[in-house]
Structure 1
Amino acid sequence: MPTTMQAAVIDAYRQPFPTIKQVPRPQVRPHDVLVRIVAASINPIDLKTKDGGLKLLLPYDLPVILGSDFAGTVTAVGSAVTDYAVGDAVFGRVTKDRIGTFAEYIAVDHNAIARMPRNLSFEAAAALPLVGLTSYQALHDIMHLQPGQKVLIQGGSGGIGTIAIQLAKHFGAYVATTTSEDHFDLVQSLGADQSIDYHTTNFADVLADYDAVFDTRGGQTLADAFRIVKPGGQVVSIAGLPNARFGKAYGVAWWKRLAFGLATRQLTRLEKQSHATYTFLFMQPNGAQLTQLAQFVEAGIITPVIDRVVPFDQLNQALAYSQAGQAVGKIILKIGQEA
């Protein structure tokens, strides 16, 4: 068996694009499976990692292979793994300290993966792990969204938005979303009850008394979210800044907690003024939750939305397209062939 593989590597932060080169195949630890990757998806975190925007939270030793989620076939199992076998079709989101799915192979802890939904292709399955887990953990684990509650989901036509709308409707919520008017038909087909064209309308001028906001934009959009939540409501963000409460919960160093607190003083003021709770979501890989998402897919409750599938050798064009922010759903990299 060859000992090397092709992978997309950055050697320095702010490198314009990763370089696809030959690198050693990953070593399999006792609790790992080795997966031959058929497809991977591009996510905003890949661009942030490349540009060094996450160094405070996720300091990587360079060079590093980019990529966070995947679908593929198990080719080897670690000595302590009993729940997967060679030949299993799996999908997953790797742990943040072991990224590297823009490659032909990945070694991943067996607790971070699940068997692929039986009714999805590898490309469609690769579209689900990161956005599915992020949406599930925001809406289910943090918001505890209940039937009849009202939630605003920002960026409804994006990778996370398209899944979050479907999940929120499954949980029985009334869903408003922001997107461009061109995508109203799409988000409404996914279950959105109210669509707001962010080009022409500030959502905070037309919405009020919401139980929760799922923020995917940050900045002023995040600040405006506090204008529409009711007292006791929640604002969950993946694009804002981690606060001191987040730092304490994750046991980060005291000086980082201090930095988080200073950086989020405005958000803390908005929390107090609105009597709402702000949570920065740092999604965690979770194989059990992936299994739940796979069951939702097989039951027809959620369906991944794919913008395009791009060959691995066109990675840089795909990253540039992702950077432009116009993708509807997910951008998928086709890396290997199905068994």
Structure 2
Amino acid sequence: MKAILSVKYGTPETLKLTEVAIPNLKGNQVLVKVQAASLNYSNLVLLTGKPWLARIAFGVTKPKYRIPGGDMAGTVEAIGEKVTQFKVGDEVFGDLSDSGWGTFAEYVAADEKALALKPRNLSFEESAAVPMAAVTSLQALRDKGNVKTGQEVLIHGASGGVGTYAIQIAKALGATVTAIVSTRNVAIAKSLGADHVIDYKKQNLEELSQNYDLILGVNGGQPLSIYKRKLKDTGTFIHVGGAESQMYQTMLQRPWLSMFGKKKFVSLLMKVEKEDLIAIKELIEAGKVRPIIDKTYTLNEVPHAFQYFQQGHAQGKVVITI
């Protein structure tokens, strides 16, 4: 089969399209003919080996996982002897970042726990754009943020993969949503249901009169002190992405930031959960959530896809068709 190989940490140019053997199945795995995959921030970490702390999981001197790619959608071609939830011909989607990666290829052997039946109302390309980003948003808002009906939610960096899902999931949870985006992304945020859209090139976060029950920092570079001032007395700030330095600040400064009052500061580490993938599927089939796809590339164009994604300006998701 054809697959993208990553044999050393580096740049998109180090990725090579080559022929490798179709993977053998273990008892709890299914062989999936991959129809589409997508890019997430963790794909950049696996490519570059940065931040260095990530190498503990990804390989110290070179990538532990030779075929990158976590999100995918495809068709079940064969099943292991212990598989009970799927049969040959099922159309599935999932996130393999916790079970070996490998979706930038024509076939992948996937643990059945990482997969769910794909949404009936989405194409393979649309389904591949869902798993990691949507589940990250769900876990941040529902689990870490405990968002409830009537609360005020601010999403800083609402136009990328996680942000576009966060707008929709926060609305599905009953929140009033304010999205902060650049000028070219205002229309997208409005189309996804944001109640208020702030163009950060025209208005500064500090100028907003509103305070929030939850601030989701998807791609925000504001000092934590500003986020703290914009929280309600019992509000929560959740760091999901953006500046690496802010992740460490949130983790290390959390005790001091939370010392006085009831404001909380949290860094989210997404966990691959089948139940959450199914919950997202149900929201999609109910018409409450939809993927936004910016660009689509073929398998042999994966290096170009990484180059584009690395720029940090994708509107929604970048998808790979296999």
TM-score (norm 1): 0.86
Specify which of 149, 152, 155 is matched with residue 154 of structure 2: 152
CA distance in 2, matches of 1:28, 1:236: 39
Q: Is this contact kept in 2: 1:230–1:274, CA < 8 A?
A: no
Encode CA deviations 1:52-97: one digit per residue, 9 max, x unaligned: 1244245324442211100001111121111100110000011435
Q: 1:123 aligns with which of 125, 131, 134?
A: 125
Contact kept, 8 Å, 1:241 with 1:263, in 2: the verdict is no
Question: What does 1:157-168 align with in structure 2 at a 5 Å threshold?
Answer: 157-168=159-170
> Residue 283 of structure 1 corresponds to which residue in structure 2?
270
- When the two chains are superposed, the root-mean-square deviation of aligned CA atoms in Å is 2.3
1:83 aligns with 2:85: yes
Runs (5+) with no aligned partner, structure 2: none
Q: 2:30 corresponds to which letter in structure 1?
A: V
CA pair 180-219 structure 1, distance change in 2 beyond 3 A:
closer
* 49 and 227 in structure 1: CA distance in 2 versus 1, 3 angstrom threshold: farther
Within a 5 Å distance, the mapping from 1:134-283 to structure 2 comes to 134-217=136-219, 219-220=221-222, 224-239=226-241, 264-273=251-260, 275-283=262-270
Q: Which amino acid aligns with 1:13?
A: Y
Is the contact between residue 297 and residue 320 of structure 2 (CA under 8 Å) also seen in structure 1? yes
Greater shift after overlay, 117-126 or 42-51? 42-51
Aligned residues: 315
8 Å CA contact 2:34, 2:106 repeated in 1: yes
Q: Please, which of 295, 313, 316 is the counterpart of residue 326 of structure 1?
A: 313
Q: Output the CA distance in 1 between the equivalents of 2:29 and 2:286.
A: 29
CA distance in 1, matches of 2:100, 2:288: 31
Shift in CA distance, 86/207, structure 1 to aligned 2, threshold 3 Å:
farther
> What is the alpha-carbon distance in structure 2 between the residues aligned to residue 222 and residue 101 of structure 1?
36
- Output the CA distance in 2 between the equivalents of 1:44 and 1:219: 16
> 2:256, 2:206 → 1: CA distance?
18
SS at 1:56 equivalent: helix
Amino acid in the other structure paired with 1:165: I
1:11 equivalent in structure 2: 7
Q: CA deviation at 1:174?
A: 0.8
User: Matched residues in 2 for 1:27 and 1:272: separation?
Assistant: 53
Aligned to 2:57: 59
How far, CA to CA, are the matches of 2:26 and 2:244 in structure 1?
34
Structure 1: unaligned runs, 5 residues or longer: 247-259
Paired residues of 2:4 and 2:18 also in contact (CA < 8 A): yes
Instruction: Supply the AA of the counterpart residue of 2:257.
Output: L
Cα distance, 1:292–1:265 mapped onto 2, change above 3 Å: closer
1:33 pairs with one of 17, 30, 34: 30
Which amino acid is 1:56 matched to?
A: L
When residues 177 and 221 of structure 1 are mapped into structure 2, their CA distance, relative to the original with a 3 A threshold, is: farther
Distance 1:237-1:317 versus aligned 2 partners, 3 A rule: same
**Are residues 53 and 218 of structure 1, via their aligned partners in 2, closer, same or farther at CA, if it must alter by over 3 Å?**
farther
| Letter in structure 2 aligned against 1:302 | V
Work out the CA distance in 2 between the residues paired with 1:139 and 1:282: 13
More displaced stretch, 65-74 vs 88-97: 88-97
Moved more, 201-210 or 149-158: 201-210
Question: In the alignment, which residue of structure 2 is the partner of 1:250?
Answer: none
Equivalent residue for 1:73, pick from 66, 72, 75 = 75
